[in-house]
Structures are given as C-alpha cells and as structure tokens.
Amino acid sequence: MTATSRRRASQQLAAWDDRVLSWSEQVEASEPFARARDTIFELADPRPTDRCVDLGAGAGLITLPLAQAAASALAVDVAPMMLATLARRAREERLDNLDTRVCDMARLSLEPASVDLIVSNYALHSLPHRGKQQLLERAHSWLRPGAASSLPT
C-alpha cells in the first residue's frame, strides 16, 4: 500500500460521499447504467448458492440484484454514505443476505477460497495501475476453485 494509493482512496471517499444522491437517483436510473447492470448480471450469472463480493459497490446498482439472486452479497466501498444508501435500499427490499464493508478495496482482506463470484463496475479505474494488478491477484486467491469474476472496469 503506497502513499499514492492511500491518497487516491481518501480523494475517492470525499468525492463519492458528496455524490451519493445524484448517483443513486440520477446516474443509476439512466439507460446506459441499466444496460451495464443487466450486462454484468448476465455475465456474472449468479447461482442461488453463490457468495458474492462487489468491489466499489456504490449505492448497490449491481449488489442489490446479486443479493436477490445469490446466497449472499458483500458490498465493499470506501465511501460510507454510498454504503449507507445501499444498506437502506437493502432493508427496503427486505434483503437480509447483504453486508456492507467500508474499506479501501486495495486493502480488503478476505479468507482464501471463500467466495464464488466477484464483480466490480466502474470502480477499479480509481486505483493506480499497479494497485489494479495487485487487487486482481488477491481477488483471485479469494475465489474458490472454478469460481467466476466479472470485472468490466
């Protein structure tokens, strides 16, 4: 974890905590984001037994449908307000299999081979190039043998 990575994560936190309303009420509702959500969901193809992780989950564009289809979903994001909105939506949808974790994804630690599906949409670009590579390597170790990942950006 470099000073550059830490600085970028705190910049993301400040930026996204301020944008939670415009993101969750306008951007997510737009046609391109609905298409992205549907495409990622189709690629991810979650099974009812899958334990899923969404990196940079935001207000839950992908995490909420994942939780509806899979055994569990963990939403990871550096911005607490984004995850607070996601948690409220999960309660409204009566999803009790969705957890949130406020964390810089570059510092996320999960048990090896503990996850069936990892997704991320429009979030990995915030990491420095080397940080992306390191995260992908670590994410690979969290997946059970034969599991899937869907990481469009």
Ligand X SMILES: C[S@@+](CC[C@H](N)C(=O)[O-])C[C@H]1O[C@@H](n2cnc3c(N)ncnc32)[C@H](O)[C@@H]1O
Residues of this chain that bind ligand X (CB under 6 A): 9, 12, 16, 28, 56-58, 61-62, 76-79, 82, 104-106, 121-123, 126-127
What's the min distance (Å) between Cβ of 146 and ligand X?
A: 25
| CB nearer ligand X, residue 147 or residue 152 | 152
Q: Which residue is it, tokens 């992205």?
A: 36
What's the min distance (Å) between Cβ of 137 and ligand X?
A: 16
Hey, is 119 helix, strand or coil? Answer: strand
Position with the least CB separation from ligand X? 58
Helices (H), the chain: 3-18, 20-22, 31-44, 63-69, 80-92, 129-142
| CB nearer ligand X, residue 104 or residue 145 | 104
Give burial (CB, 10 Å; 0-12/13-18/19+) of 139.
Answer: buried
What's the min distance (Å) between Cβ of 103 and ligand X?
A: 6
